[in-house]
Amino acid sequence: MDDTEVEIDMSETDQENISDNNSLDYKLCHQAGYLPVPLRSVPPEGLADLEVYLFNGRSYHLYRSTDIHFGQKDYQRLMGSGVEFVYVSVKDHQVYYRTIEESIEKIVSDADTQLERKTEILYSTSMELANQILLKPPGRNEIDRTAKMAHVTVQLIMQDQNAFSRLFEISNHDFYTATHLVNVCSSAISLANKIGLGDQQVLNKLGTGAMLHDIGKIFIPSELLNAPGKLTNAQHAQLRSHVELGRAHLSEVSDLPPEAMAIVAEHHERMDGSGYPNGLKGEQISAMGRLGGIVDTFDAMTSVRPYREHTFSVEDALQLLEDQAQEKFDKEIVKAFNKLMQQALNVDNNNSKKIGETSVQPSSPDFNWIETDNYTGRRHLRYHFRLRAMLRKIQRVKDNLRVGPAEKIIVHNISCSGIGLLNPKPLKLNENIMISIAGNDSEQQTNLTAVVIRCVDHADGWFTIGTKFHQQQSDSLIDKIRNITPASGFSADIR
């Protein structure tokens, strides 16, 4: 698709619902331009060197500049007025995240802060730290900070049974190594807890190792990490060296416990001896290494990779792990991981599920089904997968509808009422868009019109966009979209 105008295939109802975008009160989401600071969890001095903004529900207003430092009196005045969050500009994100990192344990422990906000702050702060430790080989200080972040992740997961579900929902499955480190950390901790490892000290060590498991990729050229197509034997050997390079570096600069080092050294080992770097078999691989290998493989399969056209859906990735459990993975840990993901996605395997006053009959017990809850307010089956698509912005100019140039996006969930997207750019709330999804083989593409209702920046290069269809889509159309098959020969290229 190019920049020329295209005919918009939509119903009369959709056309009537397209607003004149020029008349809308545009505002970016909180995270797209400003970062939320939980006021009672961050010491006032942590905001002294930042521009502090207040949000009135429509726009952001400067409250304190760097010339008039934010202080204790400001803190008391705002708290007394019932203000829960202040905001700082994304341009100050490095100072902001270091302030939040120093206060993260207090934030997570605060009983008055909603789980949704806790997970967003923990995830984005973990992402910032992961980006920092990937800039250069980490020293003892960075490793200690990583251990603290893992400890706080353990705290949150242990104190709230819904924490992993929320962390998984806001995670972006893209090709950034930083995102992968954060995702594997939370998944490994949750899975270990699921199989009965309730000792928080052990979970802290496990989480630290998971956050650092791919640190050896710092020493691998980025052009090799992201090389399209199949690698040569020499390239494979160089890529696989990241395990030993990471283990050696961490051993030199730190004294990480065996539980942490096991994930770093063994996450590519396989039960049948086909893994690397040492070709360990069965019980030769530690429990931590076996667990790490499963969550590492799952996140890699469901992540967007620049060297392949497609990704696995959550359901297909879990199925592949189960299929390969006979040979490559620990069967019992795979079984526990399946159950963990079912819980994370709020799956109910019964034939029906009561949602408010409505009984919904899933056609099959898919892992993809998410039930409604107070957090999302969903009332329809929602399916998770990764599918490339095109997006065009729609404007009504007088009585005519015009669309902008096509932009590449990724569809990552869909229901009859809306569609979730990953986009490298933010979208404005209330913005009307058209999503074009190509069908199998020569099938005509599907064009869906929707309005943007949510935009979240996770500070890793992608924005999570939530949209609502102008009119509810049919179950048959949703099935058609979610069953679009990858190109032939698609396989799990896990690097």
Write the CATH number for 289.
1.10.3210.10
- Distance between CA 92 and CA 50 in Å, rounded? 7
Mapped onto helix, strand or coil, the DSSP state of residue 467 is: strand
Query: Are β-strands 418-423 and 358-360 bridged in parallel, bridged antiparallel, or unpaired?
Result: unpaired
pLDDT (mean) for 369-389: 50
Residue 27 lies in a domain: no
Residue 457: pLDDT over 60: yes
Residue 356 has pLDDT above 70, yes or no: no
* Predicted pLDDT of residue 18: 54
Same domain, 359 and 286: no
Q: Are residues 125 and 250 in the same domain?
A: yes
Given a contact cutoff of 8 angstroms between Cβ atoms, the answer to whether 371 and 342 are in contact is no
Domain region containing 352 = 348-374
- Cα of 44 vs its chain's centroid, Å: 30
Q: Which two tokens stand for residue 323?
A: 């299929």
- Tell which wins on pLDDT, 13 or 69: 69
> DSSP readout, 385-440?
EEEEEEEEEEEEETTEEEE---EEEEEEEE-SSEEEEEESS---TT-EEEEEE--S
Integer CA distances (angstroms), 135 to 129, 215, 217, 224, 463, in order: 10, 10, 11, 17, 22
Q: Give yes or no: residues 86 and 173 share one domain.
A: no
**Helix, strand or coil, per DSSP, at residue 325:** coil
Burial class (CB in 10 A: 0-12, 13-18, 19+), 110: middle
In a domain, 398, yes or no: yes
Please check the confidence at residue 183 and state whether its pLDDT lies above 70. Answer: yes
Based on the domain organization, do 76 and 119 belong to the same domain? no
Is the pLDDT reported for residue 235 higher than 80? Answer: yes
Same-domain check for residues 156 and 254: yes
Nearest CA to 468 among 424, 429, 425, 438? 429
Distance between terminal CA atoms of the chain? 31
Q: Are residues 135 and 56 in the same domain?
A: no
Residue 154 has pLDDT above 80, yes or no: yes
Q: Could you give the number of structural domains in the chain?
A: 4
45 and 130 together in one domain: no
Tokens read off for 29: 């989401």
Q: What pairing do the DSSP bridges indicate for beta strands 463-469 and 446-457?
A: antiparallel
What is the pLDDT averaged over residues 377-399? 71
Same domain, 12 and 77: no
Is pLDDT above 80 for 477? yes
The two tokens of residue 80 are 């007394």
Instruction: Note whether 426 and 37 are within 8 A (CB).
Output: no
144 in a structural domain: yes
- Residues 479, 482, 488: CA angle, nearest 5 degrees: 120
Say yes or no: 447 and 299 in one domain. no
* pLDDT higher than 70, residue 274: yes
Q: Is residue 25 part of a domain?
A: no
Q: Rounded distance, CA 195 to CA 204, Å?
A: 15
What pLDDT sits at residue 26? 29
| Helix axis angle, 200-211 to 140-159, nearest 10° | 130
Mean pLDDT across the chain: 79
| Number of other CB atoms surrounding residue 348 within 10 Å | 16
Q: Which helix (H) or strand (E) holds 54?
A: strand 52-55
Q: How confident is the model at residue 174 (pLDDT cuts 50, 70, 90)?
A: low
Residue 472 lies in a domain: yes
CA 483/CA 219 separation, integer angstroms: 39
With respect to residue 163, please indicate whether it lies within any of the assigned structural domains. Answer: yes
On whether the CB atoms of residues 38 and 110 are closer than 8 A, the answer is: yes
Is the model more confident about 111 or about 26? 111
- Ramachandran area for residue 398 (φ above 0: left; ψ -120 to 50: alpha; else beta): left
Our separate counts of H helices and E strands in the chain read 17, 13
Q: Is residue 495 part of a domain?
A: no
Residue 357 confidence class, pLDDT cut points 50, 70, 90: very low
Same domain assignment for residues 100 and 124: no
pLDDT for 459:
53
Largest Cα separation within the chain, whole Å, is: 71
- CATH number assigned to the domain comprising residue 432: 2.40.10
Distance from C-alpha of 198 to C-alpha of 216, rounded to nearest angstrom: 29
Q: How many residues does the chain have?
A: 495
203 shares its domain with 218: yes
Q: 118: Cβ–Cβ under 8 A, 6 or more apart, which residues?
A: 107, 108, 110, 156, 163
pLDDT above 70 covers a percentage of the chain that reads 77
Q: Contact, 164 vs 340, CB < 8 A?
A: yes
Do residues 418 and 365 both lie within one domain?
A: no
